[in-house]
Structure formats: structure tokens, C-alpha cells
A and B are shown apart, each in its own frame.
Chain A
Amino acid sequence: MTEAVQVTDAAPRRPRLMMLLGILWAGLVAFGLVVLSEANALPEGPDEWTYDWRTLFFSPSADEPRRDIALLIIDEQSMADYDYVSPVDRALVAKLLRALNTAGPKAIGLDFIYDRKSEEAKTQELIDSIRGVSAPIVFGAIDLRVRGFRDETLDYQENFIARTGKDAGHVFFAREKEKLKIGDQVVRYMGERSPSPPNRKSFAQLLAEKVGGVSEEPATPYISWLLPPPGDDLFPLFRVPRHQPGSPPDVILPPSWRQALKDRIVLIGGDFIDRDKHLTPLSIADGAKMPGVMVQAQILAQLLDGRSIYTFPPAAEMILLAVVCLVGFLANRRWRQLKRYDLFLYVGGIAVLILGGIVLFAGFRIIAPSTTLFFAWTLGVTGGHYASRILKGARIAG
């Protein structure tokens, strides 16, 4: 932050020259920032921080609980009487699918991956159950993007998928790529289509297509988070109760739940403390991680609603940055006679930028590029501060 408690501006007033210098400086700053931003070489902290808070406070709230999507969760408590919790017992999932099938769901999303062997009898039972489900069903898959991926894993998975005769979608979410710091591991984006092979659509995309619900592709990969209606769960959520292995279907999926699952897209997934839990922008206040199946439900709801989050394309961002930088430059020239003008400009300017970011997001679902805006403003103000000296040094003025 520049210090200029008392300034004696001895530079002769040449407004046109000063404006020209300001425009030149603003163009240079805007171009440089956009290039650095596109190269992912800027500290993304302000973007992520402001985006996450805006998401938490200004994302749309559902008017009422979703009637189209429901969650069926298996957790540690569900499996307390099983010998192991990972992988989730395939006989349990098979039984759950058979019970769910009698409820008449609109579609089923099985958010588990089958990339390694388990007891063959249980695997076959699960495959038979998947084949026997009358509703459209999609289950999860991984691909070459997994670190440490082995060919035999892919072979097993592809063989499993082939045996079911059903479709699988990849279960990936995307995080920020960071060059200047360790990534914050927060899920903010939907995962892109998987590379070939096997070139799969995402789990949520495939599921949405199965129910004919994708009206419009999202404009950007940003997940558009939906907040719950006050006092209610956003998605009806059912946790498979603790039970003995081999319990009848009515114990793991009581009859009263089945009516609630009828004609809904039911996502089945895990909520385990050590697996598939993710930080999201909604975690910013309390650090609570979200089970992957809930993130999938959010993406599915977004696709069904046709909601999008928008960002500035590079050309528009460059114009915006140039304007902000020039305003900062001129504001400095205008108010530099004030005491502590620097504080006034920096703090006031950034407050305006934050407020503008909130308005854009809350009103239009547009993400303002906080990092580049922050730099554009501060560089604009700083440029204005040194402009006279530069002109004098160059013997253009004075």
C-alpha cells in the first residue's frame, strides 16, 4: 500500500497527457492480468474466498424440498454389524436395489464404483439385481484420471459394466488447478467427460438424460449450488438403518419409505467419514464435508433445472479490468490532496468491488473475477500515485 499522508503535487497539470498515461497503464495492466490469469499464474485466493462466501450466502434457496430427487444413504451405522465397510457389501446393495425396485422409482443412480473384485457370489447377486431393476439405472465409474490407476482396474470395471448391460457415468468432480500454492481441495466444478477410453459422460449428466431432463447445458463447469428451503431438507434423505446381514428387505428399506421414493430419481451412495467426502463452497463457514452422493444430487438438480453460473469471457474481463484500473488511476489523481487518501481509495474501492461482486452473483449468477479486479484496482491507484513522477522523470512534464 502506498503511503502518501501529505502530498505536494508539483507536477504541472496536463490532463490530456495524464489521461493518456492512465489509459495506457490500464490497458497494460488489464492485458497482463488476463494473460497471467489464463496461464493460472495468479494467486487465486481472493477469487476462491469471495466466491465461496457468496455461494454460501447468496445462492438461491429452493422454495420447497425437491420432489424429484431423493437420497438413500449407507453409512457406518448401517454397516455396524458387517465384517467390513469397504467395499460396501455387494449383497446389501443388491438387496437394497431389489427392495427399491418395488417402490417404483423414476430412475436410480448408484453412486458406487466397481473397480475391483469382491466375493464372487455377492458380485453376481449385485449384477443380477442391477439387471433386474425396471427403472433406468446408472452407476459410477472411474477412469484414467485416477492417480495410480492400473490397467487391471479398468479391465475389471469394464467387465463388470458389460455384465450388467447398463450404463455407467464417471463420478469425478473438478477442483482448481493451482500453480502458486497447494490446492484447497474444494469441489467447485463438475467433472468433464472422461478421456478415451472409455469416454464417458458424468454420472449426473447420464442420469439426467435418462429421465429426459437436460434442457440446457450449463454455460460453465461451475456447480450451481442450491440451498435448502428454511427448515427443510433440500433432498429427502433416508439412511439405511443398522441391521444384521441377511435381514429381510423390509428392514433395510421400510415400507413407509418406499411410498416416498416412488416416481423419484433415487441416488444411492455412501456417507463414510474416510471416503468420498468433499469440501465445497458451502463448507466455508464450518468446514463440514459433503458426501459425494450429495454433490451428485446438487449437480443433477442443476442439470434438471437448467441453471448455470456465468463468468466473464477473457475479452470482457479485459475491458472490465481496464475500466476499473483507469477509474483507480483517475480517483487517485482526483483525491490525492486528501490526507490518508490511499486508505480511502484502497479500502473504499475494494469494498465497492466486493459489493459489485455480490450484486452480480445474487442477481445474475455471474462470478466477478475478484483476484484480477483486486489487482486492477490497486495497480490503478498505485499507477495514479506515481504518474506525475514518471512524467517528470521522463521530462515530459515539468
Chain B
Amino acid sequence: MNRLIYVCTAAILGLLLAALPPGPSAYAESEVLESDVPELPVGTKIADDKRVIMPDDTKLRVLFLSTGTTKTLKGPYEGTIPDYKEDRSWWERITGRSKDSDAPIGATRGFKPE
């Protein structure tokens, strides 16, 4: 009888633990795929809770090892990788600021007038 109570209690505790929301994993991390931040070269592993500092006009692409998804960050930014959200106003979206422009093809024939 006692054995049955122990088994039932253990099962209930197990279910409760499984139902708990997952906390931040100590092993969750990302890997740098592309970078022009000197302190974060390609191949660097970054823990999800580690803060990164990206100067202006820098770009970082990382692979989340747990999910296999990637993320592109553009500097300036200071914070953790998962917290990054591209901050662009409506005006910036309309005028295209803060994104790439259409680069000229070839070196001499297609430049854009200033």
C-alpha cells in the first residue's frame, strides 16, 4: 500500500514538474554565423543571457542552436541576442532608412548621383 502511495506521489510530482513553464536554460546559446563586430568573430558561441554590444553600422547573424533558426542584428545595439528587435519607425520604413540600398552594379557604370 505504502509503495503504491509513493509511486502515485512521484507520478503526480513528475506531472507537475513537466507542466511547469520552462525556465531559461543555462545551455541555451547561439553561434555567430556572420559578423563584422570584432569582439564576436564567426563561430563564437554566445549564451542567451549574455549581453552583447554592437557599435553603429555593424551586423551580426546568429544561429540559435536549440531551434535551428537564425536572427540578424544591426548595430547600434546593447542587450541579449533573444531580446533584439529591429527598431524602425514608420517613417524609416517609408523612406527606407536604416536598410540596404540598391548597390550599383559594376564599378563605374551605375553609380547613383549624390
Chain A residues engaging chain B, CB cutoff 8 angstroms: 56-57, 64-65, 67, 70, 230-233, 236-239, 241, 254, 256-257, 259-262, 264, 273-274, 283, 285-289
- B96–A285 contact, CB under 8 A? yes
A135 to chain B, nearest CB (A): 16
Decide yes or no whether B12 CB sits under 8 A from chain A: no
- A285–B95 contact, CB under 8 A? yes
- A286–B85 contact, CB under 8 A? no
Interface of B is mostly: loop
- A286–B105 contact, CB under 8 A? no
Decide yes or no whether B84 CB sits under 8 A from chain A: yes
Complex: how many Å from CA A230 to CA B86? 7
1/0 contact string of B12-46 vs chain A (CB within 8 Å): 00000000000000000001011000000011000
- A231–B85 contact, CB under 8 A? yes
Complex: how many Å from CA A17 to CA B67? 69
Q: Can you give 17 contacting A-B residue pairs, CB < 8 Å?
A: A67-B67, A231-B71, A231-B85, A232-B69, A233-B71, A236-B69, A236-B70, A254-B43, A257-B63, A259-B68, A260-B68, A264-B68, A273-B105, A285-B93, A285-B96, A285-B99, A289-B102
Q: Which residue of A lies closest to B100 (CB)?
A: A288
Bin the interface of chain B by size: 20 to 34
- B63–A273 contact, CB under 8 A? no
A278 to chain B, nearest CB (A): 11
Decide yes or no whether B106 CB sits under 8 A from chain A: yes
B52 to chain A, nearest CB (A): 14
A335 to chain B, nearest CB (A): 32
Q: Which residue of A lies closest to B104 (CB)?
A: A273
Decide yes or no whether B53 CB sits under 8 A from chain A: no
- B96–A287 contact, CB under 8 A? yes
Q: Which of B63, B93, B102, B103 contacts A57 (CB 8 A)?
A: B93
Decide yes or no whether B89 CB sits under 8 A from chain A: no
Complex: how many Å from CA A241 to CA B33? 9
A307 to chain B, nearest CB (A): 21
5 residue pairs, one from A and one from B, having the closest CB atoms: A286-B96, A260-B68, A287-B102, A65-B69, A285-B96
- B105–A274 contact, CB under 8 A? yes
Q: Which residue of A lies closest to B31 (CB)?
A: A256
Complex: how many Å from CA A117 to CA B30? 41
- A256–B71 contact, CB under 8 A? no
Residues of chain B within 8 A (CB-CB) of A260 are 63, 65, 68-69
B31 to chain A, nearest CB (A): 6
Q: Which residue of B lies closest to A288 (CB)?
A: B100
B62-99, CB < 8 A from A: 63, 65, 67-72, 84-86, 93-97, 99
Q: Which residue of A lies closest to B33 (CB)?
A: A238
Q: Which residue of A lies closest to B45 (CB)?
A: A256
